[in-house]
Amino acid sequence: MNKQKRTPVIAGNWKMNKTPAETFAFINEVKPLVADADCKVVFCVPFVDLAPAIEAAKGSNIAIGAQNCHFEKSGAFTGEISAEMLKSMDVEYVIIGHSERRQYFAETNETVNKRTRAALAEGLKVILCVGETLAEREAGITSEIVSMQLKVALNGISADELENIIIAYEPVWAIGTGKTATSDQAEEVCAILRNLVKELYSENEAEKIVIQYGGSMNAGNADELLSKPDVDGGLIGGASLKSNDFSIIVKAASK
């Protein structure tokens, strides 16, 4: 399948980092560094940082995303934010099903599916995360785990809606650990996921869908990871908090 048909997406996932004032300053600092990017550039920031991020990114090639949303439109869900709320403030992207949400906040494949559907219904673009733990990799069930995660997450989602989904393959053992998957490991799983999209939808959808790798991607290893035929971008945690490192990854994706 032809990688050239897809535009790479480099997305920063700030997790619980940076205040609103730091956000405004950072986006202004990174703007000129990524201005000539030949890929999509996204920062997924904490909820309170969305407004200053959007303000600072105005008129630039940087899109702003959130890191989660609830599946109900409104109601008694203390501490939650709805997809409609995000859309109303011009947020473009939302990360759904990050492994930290699954691990610390009891996110399941079913709630990932519900959140994804709610986000798509509001017209948000979803960065949908899947990935195996170290124990699952060592047990030889990586393919089964990520396939199940993706299958359930995409349940009830049409081919048209799929155009607003980016898949992020993030092996849990590589997140924030400095242990990156080798480019061959990343390619192997990204290819499995693309093949599953082909089975569930069509060859055309499989060829179009952007699949990112995430997990300790940095300025030093991005080139090699992004050179793989099924790796179309990255979801970047730690390295997205530093403007220079992030811009080097954006350059690697722009080649």
Q: How far is the CB of 43 from ligand PGA (least distance, A)?
A: 12
When asked if residue 12 is in the footprint of ligand PGA (CB under 6 A), the reply is no
Residue 27 and residue 58 in contact, taking contact as beta carbons nearer than 8 Å: no
Which window, 56-64, 80-88, 104-112, 212-220, contacts ligand PGA (CB under 6 A)?
212-220
Nearer to ligand PGA, 95 or 206 (CB): 95
When asked if residue 13 is in the footprint of ligand PGA (CB under 6 A), the reply is yes
When asked if residue 215 is in the footprint of ligand PGA (CB under 6 A), the reply is yes
When asked if residue 214 is in the footprint of ligand PGA (CB under 6 A), the reply is yes
Q: CA of 201: how far to CAs of 194, 196, 206, in Å?
A: 10, 8, 7
Q: CA of 252: how far to CAs of 34, 164, 183, 221, 245, in Å?
A: 11, 24, 14, 10, 11
48-69 in b/e form (b: 16+ CB < 10 A) is: ebbbbbbebbeeeebbbbbbbb
Rounded distance between C-alpha atoms, residue 37 and residue 19, angstroms:
26
Rounded distance between C-alpha atoms, residue 169 and residue 12, angstroms:
14
Nearer to ligand PGA, 52 or 65 (CB): 65
Neighbours of 128 (CB within 10 A): 24
Q: How far is the CB of 91 from ligand PGA (least distance, A)?
A: 18
Interface pick for ligand PGA out of 30, 175, 226, 253 (rule CB under 6 A)? 175
Nearer to ligand PGA, 165 or 235 (CB): 235
Residues 131-170 that bind ligand PGA (CB under 6 A): 170
Q: Is 92 a catalytic residue?
A: no
Rounded distance between C-alpha atoms, residue 45 and residue 39, angstroms:
19
Residue 93 and residue 64 in contact, taking contact as beta carbons nearer than 8 Å: yes
Q: How far is the CB of 28 from ligand PGA (least distance, A)?
A: 23
Q: Is 70 a catalytic residue?
A: no
Of 98, 107, 122, 136, catalytic: 98
Residue 44 neighbours by CB under 8 Å, 6+ apart = 11, 12, 13, 14, 64, 65, 66, 67, 93, 94, 95, 127
| Amino acid code (one letter) for 60 | S
Nearer to ligand PGA, 136 or 170 (CB): 170
Q: How far is the CB of 168 from ligand PGA (least distance, A)?
A: 7
When asked if residue 245 is in the footprint of ligand PGA (CB under 6 A), the reply is no
Residue 162 and residue 196 in contact, taking contact as beta carbons nearer than 8 Å: no
Q: How far is the CB of 131 from ligand PGA (least distance, A)?
A: 9
When asked if residue 97 is in the footprint of ligand PGA (CB under 6 A), the reply is no
When asked if residue 9 is in the footprint of ligand PGA (CB under 6 A), the reply is no
- The conformation of residue 82, written as its DSSP 8-state character, comes to B
| Residues in touch with ligand PGA (CB under 6 A) | 13, 170, 175-176, 214-217, 235-239
**Catalytic (active-site) positions:** 98, 170
